[in-house]
Chains A and B, each alone.
Chain A
């Protein structure tokens, strides 16, 4: 056995310990590389055990992720990772289960499983690599592609309105919802750390550049020179403001809507103070739709982080309570639990 065999102690690990021997096969320049690096650099900081860590995925470029992690891993089938993770997390509360998915995998073919995993508050951390395109199948539009997008399968432009992944997650009763992007390792690591620490289902949308089939989809907001003006960092307990000097902000209007303002034009105390723990997801939902797409100022960070009963723990509780009440199951008694009779 290896270095981690001693029970109880968690040995200090490095990024290398979390890196498998498999050659990474994403296209050169793909945003997936920086996400992988952020995760591999974060894990040593979390003080968790490799043997208790599982990466699970469906199908798509992002779904190769588990092969590159030196942990337990399962590369499954298209869209089904949240369902498979549900069975794993519900039976193994001792594990950290990460689900790595893409916009096609979890918002199209696997949409049903995603919303129900969130609703049930399964103890999993979902990293959704949103590149607004199908990469592995070579460039068809996805459920997050913008209207009128011209792709291989939509030569005259896509007719479909996209999903807003965060709005969807909030509508599905998600208890932890965040957004980050592949150009900011520090922000990714911080967001993933928060997602990992949350008990229950955590949902993180990562704006990820597919430089082959949808290059620059998020460049207008995540490019180094644009970030200051275009990304709105959400900080719990702080007024929401952005811009190089914090000169822009977000206010809640009397009619209940939220909008962007110049801080100079309002009383600073009118700025909306971000509250991740607000029970009602309404404001988080509005924030998730503040921008109509990655070409307008867009909030990033943790939108919502609330405590709710976690499914696997509740399942275990029912087992414990029933066992305490009825006593541990006895097979012989079970079999004669109808009316039994004896023939002699």
Chain B
């Protein structure tokens, strides 16, 4: 399919390109982007994607509020982010153009569906004049393509009514972009045939639109040439393109497999976490039970009840749901039962920005319960990392009999990247280590289970689900006597139990990997410390700074409570520590409190991930400040890096 007709120059080779498909939320832009991504993955490109949904399901057509976009970054080398700014914008209507113009750098290409640029749509988008005609887009290369009319025309021949045919215009756009970037159509053709097999008319319309778009590129003398982005040298192996939410779901299923614990998900639908429920509910043949509860509280309650019964209890949610689950998570801290709480963070407070990303729940995860109620927190860095982190959350929950909070966010949840599949046979086992025998002898010689008699090494208590004779016991949310677990109100015992619970969680630090520092030449003075989904932007920013000849180090945290054992030493071995976060500085507060290191917080809360360029300039600023300080101070330098930016 890559042969081009003689009208064109041969395709030009690009090392990377960022394409943004934008249209009305009913225009099928997510689908077009997703199919383009799949064909690029099959071609062997490295890639990263970022969907951008409107909060309303169906905002009025043609308005800015209704614009839905999908950005995909493909390249012939290893990339880390979905790209700061698009090189190509596909705008299906004036609103899509207007909403995305601010991020479009001069020189970018705009492919506009000219049929949609009528007075009515221009008005709805707030354009006084048609930007395609008034010269305001002179900084861009603009291609006007009558997508709607060609689509209806080619579909008419197949007997599809114009109103129905119009819905296939996303496939026209996909066909055109596929030609422009020399993607084969076959995988999409196969996909359409399978997906719409029960609806021959729609299938035919979509196929015709797809091919018409491709042929338009080939035959219309609009485009000078097509482009090629060659395969990236990825490590050998089998790959899939995976979203963070899918990876969480698969990680939980894998954890159920390696632990032998049946998976029970108790949850309540909430954006952007619901896709984990959707995915898990499909896999009943893995013994997965999914329970859509009456509310967030019941979701976590049922998960905890399942854990009491010896299942792998999991609940999934986003910020507002985490608020509601706090009391039950506190109960799980007190009961010391395994429980995994997955929080897909979104913009807050309150309903906030449901479809936009944020890292706003770290302190909530850390402290959002009454009393002293510590628990482990782990965070995923990339979509595929969600798989590993789900396994790690389960490992910690089961081994230490504790609720664990797994933090992901809207960006990881819906973003994708190619993932080299792990060897499932080599995933480490997780031993539930259920209690099988009494652990205490009464004065009269009879035996019983003391539910709070702890393992000396881990301080974990026995997990003794009902069903074993002789291990009957009662536990609850009231303070318990150290050892026997009977209700106990005395102060000295409460202090002992409070310190034991804290020591159990703190002790996990000896059971997690050291934080690795990426410090190429070991000569950097500035360390960038991040957590969660900022990984890609920070790593890309670090690369750019290094490309400019500076040295900078990067450490990224997966374990946020407890921290890795070497973190203090790492922080103290750099002259300044920059902490970028998509919140107002939550990790930076924890680091300062824990290590008395005066870290520099760099933050943004716009519902979107950092751009690599923003990280780059923040690092450069820090590197400059360090250089100046060194100059001023001669040989010595002050210990602290100064205030927040």
Contact = CB atoms under 8 A, between A and B. Distances in A.
B262 interface: yes
Contact of A92 (B236, B239, B309): B309
Nearest to A340: B240
A91 B311 contact: yes
Interface of A: 1-5, 20, 22, 49-54, 56, 66-67, 69-77, 80, 83-92, 94-95, 112-113, 116, 315, 318-319, 322-323, 325-329, 331-332, 334-344
A113 B253 contact: no
Contacts of B331: 76-77
Given A86-B302, A92-B310, A341-B42, A331 B253 contact: yes
A335 B327 CA distance: 35
Given A49-B469, A86-B266, A339-B241, 19 more contacts: A22-B474, A50-B472, A51-B470, A54-B466, A67-B474, A67-B476, A72-B474, A76-B331, A84-B302, A87-B266, A90-B306, A91-B306, A323-B285, A328-B286, A334-B286, A335-B240, A339-B41, A343-B235, A343-B237
Nearest to B190: A339
A322 B285 contact: yes
Interface of B: 38, 41-42, 44, 187, 231, 234-242, 246, 250, 253-254, 257, 262, 264, 266, 283-289, 291, 293-295, 297-298, 301-311, 313, 327-328, 331, 335, 420-422, 424, 437-438, 446-447, 465-478, 486-487
A329 B293 contact: no
18 contacts: A50-B469, A52-B467, A72-B472, A76-B301, A80-B298, A83-B294, A83-B301, A83-B302, A86-B305, A87-B301, A87-B304, A323-B287, A335-B424, A339-B38, A341-B238, A342-B236, A343-B237, A343-B239
Given A67-B487, A73-B473, A91-B262, A86 B298 contact: yes
Interface centre among B236, B306, B472 (most CB of A within 10 A): B472
Contacts of B295: 112
A80 B297 contact: yes
Given A4-B470, A51-B471, A91-B262, A344 B476 contact: no
Contacts of B447: 1-2
B264 A84 contact: no
Interface centre among A66, A76, A319, A326 (most CB of B within 10 A): A76
B298 A116 contact: yes
Contact of B472 (A71, A76, A92, A323): A71
A344 B246 CA distance: 25
B305 A84 contact: yes
A235 to B, nearest CB: 35
B469 A326 contact: no
Given A86-B302, A92-B310, A94-B467, A315 B253 contact: no
B472 A329 contact: no
Nearest to B231: A343
A69 B42 CA distance: 61
A87 B466 contact: no
Contacts of B308: 74, 84, 87-88
Contact of B284 (A85, A319, A337): A319
A4 B467 CA distance: 11
A331 B387 CA distance: 13
